[in-house]
Structure 1
Amino acid sequence: MSNSRKQSSAPYRHTLQSYILPIFHLIEHMMSEGKLLTSDQLSHIANSVADSGSLRDQALLSLITSGLHRAALLRIKVCHVIYETTNDRKLEIEFRNARNSNILVRTTIKDGSAIYEHIKASRLSHDDYLFASDKDANKPMTLAMLSQTCTNWARAAGVEPSLGRASTIYYSAMLNKFCTYAKHYNY
């Protein structure tokens, strides 16, 4: 049998399923090894942050789980929040890429109510950082402060503190969404 014939007989070759299945197995493996948060752990963190009553933390978690990279979300100012509707609570954030100002980054947050409430409650002005440094309000929160905040969330939720990093929460949320969509479409 020729090599090309073997390839063509492989099931699901060059289909969406052939690309998704290995990723899905990798995700399951990483979760079983304790390198990512499970959906239960992620929901425990979300519930713990919601129960804390801190609008800033709720807004921060909302942005991390929305898909914005941590370095980008720390630079967001109130003026970057450009769209908010009261009916469906959608919110859009638009800003220029730090490395290339010609690239416009636009993200839609399905439920932006926490961000909107944080802006209102904190009385942030147009040019204020959404997440300002505790030491200097004219500077954004540092990565170290973000790390400490995420670690505190994990501890409060009863999750291993080493899993309470912004990047772990980010990747776990993105992979959790991916798995949900994959299961929904029977992949």
Structure 2
Amino acid sequence: MRVPVYPQDLIRNRGFKSLAKQLQQHWRGPTPISLAEAQKTLAQGLGYQNFYDLNEASKVCQPDEPVPSEATVRHAIGSTIKATLQPEAWLSVDQRELEQLVTDLSLKKLVAFKRLLLAPDAGHNPLLKLVSGAQPGLSKEHIQLLEKILSESGDLRDRALFACMLGALRSSEILSARMHHGAAVYGVKTFDTKRVLDAIPERHRAIFNQYVKASKLSDGEYLFRAANAPGRPLSSDALRRICASWARKASIHVSLLTPHGVRRITDNYTDLMRQMRERTGHYPADMSLAYVAGLPTIRIP
């Protein structure tokens, strides 16, 4: 088994580099590991001898390389971590925490696992096969189940976060939103309105307003704040962990439940993608797919 890795995955804070940093930060061994060690371990888990082997292979990786299932990859990464640790160290590690570490790895950051639903003939498009993972995407039934679970939880923050995702907001828009004159507004440039509430589906606006009122946020404060630092926004890593906790409660594969995963099945996502294609000028399906996936815009026969 070998997971295709592309030069775009080796850009700082992207793809493989981001995953390696995540592995280093959440390492469950008895002692911390360096970023170089995390890169080596992750490279071996993806089917390479070491990081150098992975780096060299990425230079000649073809767009139509087969992609193994996420379950297979996660099992391989877990086995590599076990082989990396000494027997006594392995026995001292909390196995549930180690399993959770592997489960939470954001494999979708790799080009090979990116998903797109831009073309109806996905099964016949080699590039779509490349950027699609083996797991099926979220469904409307998943969304309905999550709405029910979060409603029963009574957690206003989580329900407000989910409302933002259902409004097709990007992670950056959710995390950077601030209060301004008593209303939540986007903190980053967007093609749409500046008020967050306007993007949220009408049936979820009441709970969103309830969260804002209960939070007693002042002007300039972030809509969703870090638990240990109220002056800072919720981090993308914290948002990922929140989504993972929802996934476990709903028995949904943790890699599927992401803000983008929710966003892309909302009613207005198709319209958003149409606007994006118009703005970028990338109308041909293959070119648009390559643009989003970060691959060279080559012609695939």
For this structure pair, what is the TM-score category when the shorter chain's length is used for normalisation? 0.5 to 0.7
Give the residue type in structure 1 aligned to 2:188. Answer: N
Stretch deviating more after TM superposition (67-76 or 122-131) = 122-131
Among 239, 246, 257, the alignment partner of 1:153 is 246
- Report matched runs for 1:28-67 at 5 Å: 34-67=135-168
TM-score of the superposition, structure 1-length normalised? 0.64
Among 220, 228, 247, the alignment partner of 1:135 is 228
Distance verdict in 2 for CA 1:67–1:104, change over 3 Å: closer
Q: In the alignment, which residue of structure 2 is the partner of 1:119?
A: 212
| Helix, strand or coil at the partner of 2:229 | coil
Structure 1 spans left out of the alignment, 5+ residues? 1-21, 83-92, 179-187
| Counterparts of 1:143 and 1:96, CA distance in 2 | 15
Pair 1:23-2:128 in alignment: no
Q: In the alignment, which residue of structure 1 is the partner of 2:188?
A: 97
The structure that is strand-richer by fraction is 1
| Counterparts of 2:229 and 2:246, CA distance in 1 | 23
| Helix, strand or coil at the partner of 2:186 | strand
Contact 1:131–1:141 under 8 Å retained in 2 = yes
Give the residue type in structure 1 aligned to 2:174. Answer: L
Pair 1:172-2:291 in alignment: no
| Counterparts of 1:105 and 1:134, CA distance in 2 | 28
| Helix, strand or coil at the partner of 2:231 | coil
| Counterparts of 1:166 and 1:105, CA distance in 2 | 19
- Deviation for aligned residue 1:110: 3.4
| Helix, strand or coil at the partner of 1:78 | strand
Structure 2 spans left out of the alignment, 5+ residues? 1-117, 271-301
Give the residue type in structure 2 aligned to 1:123. Answer: K
Distance verdict in 2 for CA 1:172–1:124, change over 3 Å: same
Of all paired residues, the percent bearing the same amino acid is 20
Among 201, 204, 212, the alignment partner of 1:110 is 201
- Deviation for aligned residue 1:25: 5.0
Q: Deviations over 1:126-178 (max 9, x none)?
A: 22211000110000000000000011111111212221222212223358x75
Give the residue type in structure 2 aligned to 1:78. Answer: M
| Counterparts of 2:181 and 2:256, CA distance in 1 | 30
**Relative contact order higher in (CA < 8 Å, ≥ 6 apart):** 1
Q: Deviations over 1:87-142 (max 9, x none)?
A: xxxxxx543535x9xx7743512331122111111222222211000110000000
Cα RMSD after superposing both structures: 3.4
| Counterparts of 1:66 and 1:44, CA distance in 2 | 17
Q: In the alignment, which residue of structure 1 is the partner of 2:171?
A: 70
Give the residue type in structure 1 aligned to 2:237. Answer: A
| Counterparts of 2:135 and 2:265, CA distance in 1 | 11
Contact 2:240–2:258 under 8 Å retained in 1 = yes
Across the two proteins, how many residue pairs are aligned to each other?
A: 144
